[in-house]
């Protein structure tokens, strides 16, 4: 622990003022989010299988996001703020994979819950296609992290967009066949889903496409999977420059704030 504190002190000592402010904000978010989840945990009791599953899945997501907030990184560029073994790109990506699958299962479970309340059995079945998009996306993400090819990172983002689009379509059906809080939550879910899709297609995918083209123009060599695994485990590029972080801060910040709050909020949806 003392070694970690020492590495953090060294890492932030030479950081740009904007990087330092951003990193401190992420650390504050990490503490806030863990406290919010604990507050939801202690405010129970929760009844039903839905609530218990949502609570457990959210707990994993919250803890991993807290870890990644304190030790932020950009996977393909091997960029880190704090140069420590816990900042390993491979380790962070492995944790993120588990967390993102948990979050995807939460989304599928939410649509399933609303389908139960609306009395739509086919929506309940179709809900499980939502996390499947995100699970498949993890494979493309790992390919990009290990090979350093940004094109599969763009594919990953498009799969997330496809999953949220399918979720919005199912929630649209629920909204048409329900009323009260189920109808309101379905409409809110549609708005959030389509906002996310617009963000991914308007910001994330173009960013990864630009990086792919830039890499191709520079003749960036791609790695074999085994080479990439070793590289991702050992290589880190410490940087306190805001120029290096600002593009990724645009998605990391909402990911560790709004994304976590949505995860916690799904715990509070009444079970059927």
Question: Is residue 257 a part of any domain in this protein?
Answer: yes
Least confident of 2-16, 76-90, 136-150, 243-257: 2-16
What is the count of structural domains for the chain? Answer: 1
| pLDDT at residue 230, as a whole number | 96
| pLDDT at residue 208, as a whole number | 93
For residues 198 and 69, give the distance between their C-alpha atoms in angstroms, rounded to a whole number. Answer: 24
* Mean pLDDT value across residues 46-62: 88
pLDDT beyond 90 at 47: no
pLDDT beyond 60 at 6: no
pLDDT beyond 80 at 44: no
| pLDDT at residue 12, as a whole number | 64
Domain residues for the domain of 74 are: 2-267
pLDDT tens string 111-124: 999 999 999 999 99
- At 13, is the pLDDT very low, low, confident or very high (cuts 50, 70, 90)? low
* Mean pLDDT value across residues 115-138: 95
**Which letter, b or e, does each residue of 181-218 get, where b requires 16 or more Cβ atoms within 10 Å of its Cβ?**
ebbebbeebbebbbebbebbeeebbebbeebbeebeee
pLDDT tens string 141-179: 999 999 999 999 999 999 999 999 999 999 999 999 989
CATH code of the domain in which 179 resides: 1.20.1070
Question: Is residue 29 a part of any domain in this protein?
Answer: yes
| pLDDT at residue 11, as a whole number | 60
pLDDT beyond 80 at 80: yes
Question: Is residue 272 a part of any domain in this protein?
Answer: no
Question: Is residue 129 a part of any domain in this protein?
Answer: yes
pLDDT beyond 80 at 46: no
pLDDT tens string 184-243: 999 999 999 999 999 999 999 999 999 999 988 888 889 999 999 999 999 999 988 999
């Amino acid at each position: 622990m003392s070694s970690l504190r020492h590495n953090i002190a060294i890492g932030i000592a030479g950081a740009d003022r904007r990087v330092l402010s951003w990193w401190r904000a992420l650390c504050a978010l990490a503490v806030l989010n863990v406290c919010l989840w604990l507050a939801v945990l202690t405010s129970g009791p929760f009844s039903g299988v839905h609530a218990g599953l949502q609570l457990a899945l959210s707990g994993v997501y919250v803890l991993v996001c807290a870890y990644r907030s304190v030790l932020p990184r950009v996977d393909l560029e091997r960029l880190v703020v704090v140069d420590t073994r816990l900042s390993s790109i491979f380790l962070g990506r492995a944790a993120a994979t588990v967390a993102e699958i948990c979050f995807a299962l939460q989304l599928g479970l939410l649509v399933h819950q609303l389908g139960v309340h609306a009395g739509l059995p086919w929506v309940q079945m179709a809900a499980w296609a939502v996390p499947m998009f995100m699970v498949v996306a993890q494979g493309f993400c790992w390919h990009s992290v290990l090979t350093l090819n940004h094109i599969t990172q763009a594919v990953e983002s498009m799969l997330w967009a496809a999953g949220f689009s399918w979720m919005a379509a199912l929630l649209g059906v629920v909204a048409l066949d329900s009323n009260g809080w189920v109808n309101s939550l379905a409409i809110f879910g549609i708005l959030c889903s389509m906002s996310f899709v617009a963000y991914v297609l308007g910001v994330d995918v173009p960013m990864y496409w630009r990086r792919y083209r830039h890499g191709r123009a520079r003749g960036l060599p791609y790695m074999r999977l085994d080479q990439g695994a070793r590289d991702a485990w050992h290589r880190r590029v410490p940087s306190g420059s805001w120029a290096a972080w600002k593009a990724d801060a645009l998605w990391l910040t909402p990911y560790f704030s709004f994304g976590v709050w949505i995860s916690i909020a799904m715990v509070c949806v009444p079970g059927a």
